[in-house]
Amino acid sequence: MNKNLPSINNKHRINTQQLDMPPRLLLGPGPSNAHPRVLQALSMRQVGHLDPRFIHLMNEIQSLLRYAWQTDNQLTIPVSGTGSAAMEASLANTIEPGDTVLIAINGYFGHRLADMAARYGANVHTIEKSWGEVFHPDELKTALEKHRPAILGLVHAETSTGARQPLEGIGELCRNYDCLLLVDTVTSLGGVPLFIDAWQIDIAYSGSQKCLSCPPGLAPLTLGPRAVEKLNRRRTKVANWYLDMSMLSKYWGSERTYHHTAPINMNYALREALRLVAEEGLEARWERHQANAELLWAGLEELGLACHVTDKSLRLPSLTTVRVPDGVDAKQVAARLLHDYNIEIAGGFGPLAGKIWRIGLMGFNSRAENVMLLLTALKSVLYGR
Amino acid sequence: MNKNLPSINNKHRINTQQLDMPPRLLLGPGPSNAHPRVLQALSMRQVGHLDPRFIHLMNEIQSLLRYAWQTDNQLTIPVSGTGSAAMEASLANTIEPGDTVLIAINGYFGHRLADMAARYGANVHTIEKSWGEVFHPDELKTALEKHRPAILGLVHAETSTGARQPLEGIGELCRNYDCLLLVDTVTSLGGVPLFIDAWQIDIAYSGSQKCLSCPPGLAPLTLGPRAVEKLNRRRTKVANWYLDMSMLSKYWGSERTYHHTAPINMNYALREALRLVAEEGLEARWERHQANAELLWAGLEELGLACHVTDKSLRLPSLTTVRVPDGVDAKQVAARLLHDYNIEIAGGFGPLAGKIWRIGLMGFNSRAENVMLLLTALKSVLYGR
């Protein structure tokens, strides 16, 4: 070793214990608990990111993602980041500076879409509703007529409010206005009925850690033919190298050109999560999520608690928002559930801070025993019985 | 379930086998094999990204990263993506449109830095050397004098060439020109002597899957006080939401403001990888990498093979580049090592395509038995004995 090197600073060489984590039941807005088979797959021995065996696995992931999303889109891949990275990829690739983008905001993630779109030079317009409401197609039509955007951004499953935005007919509407339809499906993919092709959605993204029951770290993205055409027509480079689909699609396509080192083990895990979706079947999975959500809603009502989204048909089965009764400290209840019973639920934020709890029943966690345990624990914390 | 839903398309509901991967020895440019303790940590049960136990773990990761990098920098975190994401974060946060950026290019990753910097609106200047050579401080001084950049980008460990760029004195030089020093340490962190503070490096990034022996999917990033000051002085928003350190630093700082869902399990794994660095100690680890590299170099010489970087003191101990003898098909040799012996090495690319092999001895993989096995296998494939 070179003797002229500086001396070593040991200040940050801290002592740490062997990793151990409490057995949390994650019933918040995500991450949800990974399926045990997914955690097993995660720690499989590694191969290289250009290994023929890994390339075969990439193809499987793409097929299984197409099934989960009900799409034939060729460009359907997991982005090497969390859901927010796929959200950003969906905008970075399709927006060119000066494009008009319309975002329908009825919760936090709509605001985030608007913030991101502006960073890519879009001329952003928004229409807003209260957190917990959804948009009627006529309202969207009026806004499309007025702003004539290149892209309309909608949130299918607003994780901040628990509302499900109906999507039927909106794809056709967007086509009439020569506009791409971009949809946030982070909290719906794999848990809530969703048909990318039949509903004519051009751009969608999701996360791995919600209804797919995989750890966070990969984020599905799909671009339909009209979105790919816009990407191919770009006059400017995508302003984000890491998420540039014109390059990434060559790694995930037949060329297999190196772009960045894929997160190997996370891809193992996502494949297993998607296999579980294919084994169960989408209809059965959606029905399970709906049935367990209805169990929860009935139990909350029995406890005298009201759901924030009053119309049952507009509630997300994957994420329920519950109004905090007057005089109850929302944070304290969540803290006691975590401390006394290892159950994680979350509070609201933004205009709903302190006013709601958010309860997730996603993927592997959408089970009757979890509903029963949560209701019993909640009863005990709220009423001491 | 709503009876008006479209019918399910089962075309992509493919049959797949239980996950199984061959026992590859990854001696290419990365990923390297994760340490078994790291793979074990990876599959630990999950907690939420705002769980007090996870927040404690985040603090530990930050401390251990500071030790590995030999820095006191407060803003030292793992970015939620692979090495390329941290590379992009390093530029996205510190470049404002119109800034002059100087990139010293002596391999592929210098080119990538220049490409990325231009996407963030930098006025990019480059100085170039052949792939495998390094820059002398005088050459850098001349270029700094000429271009007066706000940032100088250098690659400490050029994974495409095997050359180690000496960094002593360059930080001081940059300070004289009021310029930030940005350094790519993807293939050096945890394997090659590196002193962020003593060498006055302002911005550095790395990957998890090289000398840290962790799977790919997280990427260390550190910003020193001068870089943070530039970030705080920005007149424009960071043009990349996902990698915006002005927001991310609040999640990793005392505020704990939600930004995006951290890849929980990958953070478990990185913590374990960094614990292993702290247990072994940096000096011992660097010496081990050097000793095993020298074993490899001696063995290659015995086989009649020459290293691409002729000056031993400028060779990376973590990545050795070997000249392909005349008449030998580089790709075929690598394919046979993979097929016959489950050993992965890589070829060269760009101007070195077909001319070199790249052999990595990184982290857990830097062991005498791996050197012995590779040399024996290489001999058998090259000479049939």
DSSP assignments along A206-254, one per residue: --SSSTT---SS-EEEEE-HHHHHHHHT-SS--S-STT-HHHHHHHHST
**Neighbour tally for B36: CB within 10 Å:** 13
On whether the CB atoms of residues A355 and A330 are closer than 8 A, the answer is yes
Contacts of B207 in chain A (CB under 8 A): 261
Q: Give residue B268's region: left, alpha or beta (phi > 0; psi -120 to 50).
A: alpha
- The tokens for A36 are 């045990």
On whether the CB atoms of residues A197 and A70 are closer than 8 A, the answer is yes
Question: What is the model's pLDDT at position A357?
Answer: 98
Best of A13, A93, A280, A342 to mutate (most B CBs within 10 Å, chain B)? A13
Question: What is the model's pLDDT at position B2?
Answer: 62
From CA A249, how far away is CA A262, in angstroms rounded?
13
B216/A261 CB distance under 8 A: yes
DSSP B307: B
* CATH code of domain A36-278: 3.40.640.10
A263/B82 CB distance under 8 A: yes
Distance from the Cα of A216 to chain B's closest Cα (Å) equals: 5
- The tokens for A335 are 């803290």
Query: What's the full length of chain B, in residues?
Result: 385
Question: What is the model's pLDDT at position B4?
Answer: 85
Best of A18, A53, A74, A82 to mutate (most B CBs within 10 Å, chain B)? A82
Q: What is the dihedral of CA B59, B65, B66, B70, to 10 degrees?
A: 170
Nearest-by-Cβ selection for B209 from A85, A258, A261: A261
Contacts of B264 in chain A (CB under 8 A): 31, 209, 215-216
A241/B112 CB distance under 8 A: yes
Nearest-by-Cβ selection for A49 from B16, B31, B262: B31
From CA A46, how far away is CA B36, in angstroms rounded?
11
- φ, ψ of residue A109 to 5 degrees: the values are -70, -25
Q: Which amino acid is at B294?
A: E
Q: Where are the beta strands (DSSP E) in chain B?
A: 25-26, 75-79, 100-105, 123-128, 151-155, 157-158, 163-164, 180-184, 203-205, 219-223, 319-323, 343-344, 346-347, 356-360
On whether the CB atoms of residues B121 and B96 are closer than 8 A, the answer is yes
- pLDDT at residue A226 tops 90: yes
From CA B149, how far away is CA B64, in angstroms rounded?
32
* Chain B residues 162-181 within an 8 A CB cutoff of chain A: 168
- pLDDT at residue B241 tops 80: yes
From CA A241, how far away is CA A359, in angstroms rounded?
36
- Please name the fold of domain B25-31+282-383: Aspartate Aminotransferase, domain 1 (3.90.1150)
A1 confidence band (pLDDT: 50, 70, 90): low
From CA B181, how far away is CA B175, in angstroms rounded?
8
Best of A15, A16, A53, A276 to mutate (most B CBs within 10 Å, chain B)? A16
From CA B350, how far away is CA B374, in angstroms rounded?
25
B286/A1 CB distance under 8 A: yes
Contacts of B268 in chain A (CB under 8 A): 19, 21
User: Sheet containing B356-360: which strands, arranged edge to edge?
Assistant: B319-323, B356-360, B346-347
> To the nearest whole percent, how much of chain B has pLDDT over 70?
99
Which has the closest alpha carbon to A339: A22, A21, A19?
A22
Q: Which amino acid is at A358?
A: R
Q: Residue A26: CB partners within 8 Å, gap ≥ 6?
A: A32, A33, A344, A360, A365, B46, B47, B48
A1/B290 CB distance under 8 A: yes
On whether the CB atoms of residues B307 and B300 are closer than 8 A, the answer is yes
A60/B23 CB distance under 8 A: no
Of the CA atoms within 13 Å of residue B189, those in its CB half-sphere come to 34
B46/A26 CB distance under 8 A: yes
On whether the CB atoms of residues B126 and B103 are closer than 8 A, the answer is yes
From CA B362, how far away is CA B210, in angstroms rounded?
6
Contacts of B64 in chain A (CB under 8 A): 12-14, 16
Identify the residue whose tokens are 């086989």. Answer: B303
The highest-level CATH class for domain A25-31+281-383 is alpha beta
A202 contacts chain B (CB < 8 A): no
Question: What is the model's pLDDT at position A9?
Answer: 96
Give the predicted TM-score (pTM) of the model. Answer: 0.97
From CA B382, how far away is CA B385, in angstroms rounded?
8
Q: Where in chain A is the domain with CATH 3.40.640.10?
A: 36-278
Which has the closest alpha carbon to A41: A297, A303, A265?
A265
Distance from the Cα of A148 to chain B's closest Cα (Å) equals: 25
* Chain A residues 297-336 within an 8 A CB cutoff of chain B: none
B85/A81 CB distance under 8 A: yes
Arithmetic mean of pLDDT, A237-253: 95
Contacts of B263 in chain A (CB under 8 A): 82, 215-217, 266
Tens of pLDDT, residues A3-16: 689 999 999 999 99
* Chain A residues 12-71 within an 8 A CB cutoff of chain B: 12-14, 16, 19-24, 26, 28, 30-31, 33-34, 39-49, 51, 53, 60, 63-64, 66-67, 70
Question: What is the model's pLDDT at position B333?
Answer: 98
Query: What's the full length of chain A, in residues?
Result: 385
Q: Residue A324: CB partners within 8 Å, gap ≥ 6?
A: A330, A333, A354, A355, A356, A357
Question: What is the model's pLDDT at position B167?
Answer: 98
Contacts of A240 in chain B (CB under 8 A): 88, 119, 240
Nearest-by-Cβ selection for A19 from B262, B272, B338: B272
- pLDDT at residue B266 tops 80: yes
Contacts of A242 in chain B (CB under 8 A): 81, 84-85, 88
- At CA B221, angle to CA A216 and CA B24, rounded to 5? 60
Helix (H) and strand (E) counts for chain A?
12, 14
Which has the closest alpha carbon to A39: A368, A364, A383?
A364
Helix (H) / strand (E) element for A369: namely helix A368-383
Q: Where in chain B is the domain with CATH 3.90.1150.10?
A: 25-31+282-383
B262/A216 CB distance under 8 A: yes
- pLDDT at residue A385 tops 80: no
Instruction: Report helix, strand or coil for A332.
Output: helix
Arithmetic mean of pLDDT, A166-173: 98
Distance from the Cα of A315 to chain B's closest Cα (Å) equals: 13
Arithmetic mean of pLDDT, B280-304: 98
Question: What is the model's pLDDT at position A4?
Answer: 85
**Neighbour tally for B254: CB within 10 Å:** 6
Contacts of B237 in chain A (CB under 8 A): 118-119
Q: Residue A286: CB partners within 8 Å, gap ≥ 6?
A: A191, A192, A193, A317, B1
Q: Which amino acid is at B24?
A: R
Nearest-by-Cβ selection for B21 from A42, A45, A83: A45
- The tokens for A326 are 């007057």
Arithmetic mean of pLDDT, B199-221: 98
Tens of pLDDT, residues B307-356: 999 999 999 999 999 999 999 999 999 999 999 999 999 999 999 999 99
From CA A27, how far away is CA A37, in angstroms rounded?
19
- φ, ψ of residue A58 to 5 degrees: the values are -60, -45
Tens of pLDDT, residues B129-166: 999 999 999 999 999 999 999 999 999 999 999 999 99
Tens of pLDDT, residues B21-49: 999 999 999 999 999 999 999 999 999 99
Q: Which residue of A has its CA nearest to B269?
A: A19
Q: Where in chain A is the domain with CATH 3.90.1150.10?
A: 25-31+281-383
Best of A7, A18, A19, A212 to mutate (most B CBs within 10 Å, chain B)? A19
Arithmetic mean of pLDDT, A90-118: 98
Question: What is the model's pLDDT at position A355?
Answer: 98
Question: What is the model's pLDDT at position B3?
Answer: 67
| Count of A-B CB contacts under 8 Å | 288
Between A98-112, A138-152, A305-319, B250-264, the lowest mean confidence (pLDDT) is in: B250-264
Q: Give residue A32's region: left, alpha or beta (phi > 0; psi -120 to 50).
A: beta
On whether the CB atoms of residues A173 and A144 are closer than 8 A, the answer is yes
Contacts of A6 in chain B (CB under 8 A): 70, 195, 198-199
